Amino acid sequence: MPWKAISHAIGFDTGRTSVLDAIGAWWERLRRELAAHRTPGYRTVAFTIAVTTLAAKMAKADGVALPIEERAFERVFDIPKGEEENFRRLYDLAAQDIAGFEVYASKIASLLADEPEMLNALLECLFHVAAADGILHPDEDRFLQIVAEKFGLSRAEFLSIRAGFINDPCSPYQILGVMPSLSDEELKLRHRELVREHHPDKLAVTGVPPELRCAATRRLAAINAAYDQIKAERATERQRLGRLNEA
């Protein structure tokens, strides 16, 4: 991520204190540069600012932005040495409130419009930060639902990603995004499809950068666990029906 340009981009050197105002002033220029040089969206200053701001505002969604959430973000996005101060100034400014978070989510979706795998990976990373304190507050949950909508993800996709980080009574069918009426063979094909889509190696091949692949292993584990649970439940049900037929 281009941290070297952040201080100037958000106006620290000019005394500007509103991140939202700074983004508005810079957005059109950055978008023109992106189009002219065909720079990957995730390597632009705009993306760095938007993601950092979105994560900070998410941490504030439950009323208090905790240091553990900030540290989780730093681990996920690997802040380079020497850039910690710029990052923390931006993060602290953004964490003052959640105002305008939808704007940043929309801008990220625009930057990654041609890279849907990265939008999924980024939402996984945001869940990783949100769950860093061991609790997903209802306001954080609603925040992330709106972000998923802005990213263009379906409700099923959102719940499937969520299930990889939150332990609650969530149907394994919901995790896989399928109906219980699906046949065993169709279920197997769906499982294979999801494994291919979310495997860290596949994300690397499609160009998803390392900082957005941080949660892929955890996500893949949730997919496999859901598939194994359904298989076990179906096997148990077949055994039960077999005993009834014999009686």
pLDDT value at residue 36:
54
Confidence of residue 32 (pLDDT cuts 50, 70, 90): low
Q: Looking at per-residue confidence, does 7 or 84 come out higher?
A: 84
Q: Which of 59, 42, 61 is nearest to 1 (CA)?
A: 42
Indicate if the pLDDT at residue 246 is higher than 50: yes
Indicate if the pLDDT at residue 123 is higher than 50: yes
pLDDT value at residue 192:
93
Q: Give the separation between CA 16 and CA 142, rounded to whole angstroms.
A: 30
pLDDT value at residue 5:
47
pLDDT value at residue 130:
85
Percent of all residues in the chain with a pLDDT value above 90, rounded to a whole number: 12
Interval 234-246 mean pLDDT: 83
Q: How far apart are the first and last CA of the chain?
A: 66
Q: What are phi and psi of 138, to 5 degrees?
A: -55, -35
Q: Which residues, in sequence order, are CB contacts of 31 under 8 Å at separation 6+?
A: 46, 110
Q: Which of 109, 14, 19 is nearest to 56 (CA)?
A: 19
Indicate if the pLDDT at residue 40 is higher than 90: no
Indicate if the pLDDT at residue 80 is higher than 80: no
pLDDT value at residue 190:
93
Q: Looking at per-residue confidence, does 221 or 105 come out higher?
A: 105
Written as six digits, the tokens of 164 are 């990889």
Count other Cβ atoms within 10 Å, centred on residue 99.
Answer: 12
Q: Which residues, in sequence order, are CB contacts of 141 under 8 Å at separation 6+?
A: 162
- Residue 109, Cα to own-chain centre: how many angstroms? 12
Written as six digits, the tokens of 202 are 């596949």
pLDDT value at residue 145:
94
Confidence of residue 152 (pLDDT cuts 50, 70, 90): very high
pLDDT value at residue 177:
82
pLDDT value at residue 16:
45
Confidence of residue 185 (pLDDT cuts 50, 70, 90): very high
What global pTM score does this model have?
Answer: 0.60
Residue with tokens 């495997």: 199
Q: Which tens digit of pLDDT belongs to each residue from 90-122?
A: 888 888 889 889 988 998 898 888 777 888 888
Q: Give the separation between CA 37 and CA 15, rounded to whole angstroms.
A: 30
pLDDT value at residue 166:
73
Confidence of residue 12 (pLDDT cuts 50, 70, 90): very low
Q: Which tens digit of pLDDT belongs to each residue from 127-150?
A: 888 888 777 788 888 999 999 999
| Count of all residues that appear for the chain in the document | 247
Written as six digits, the tokens of 3 are 């941290």
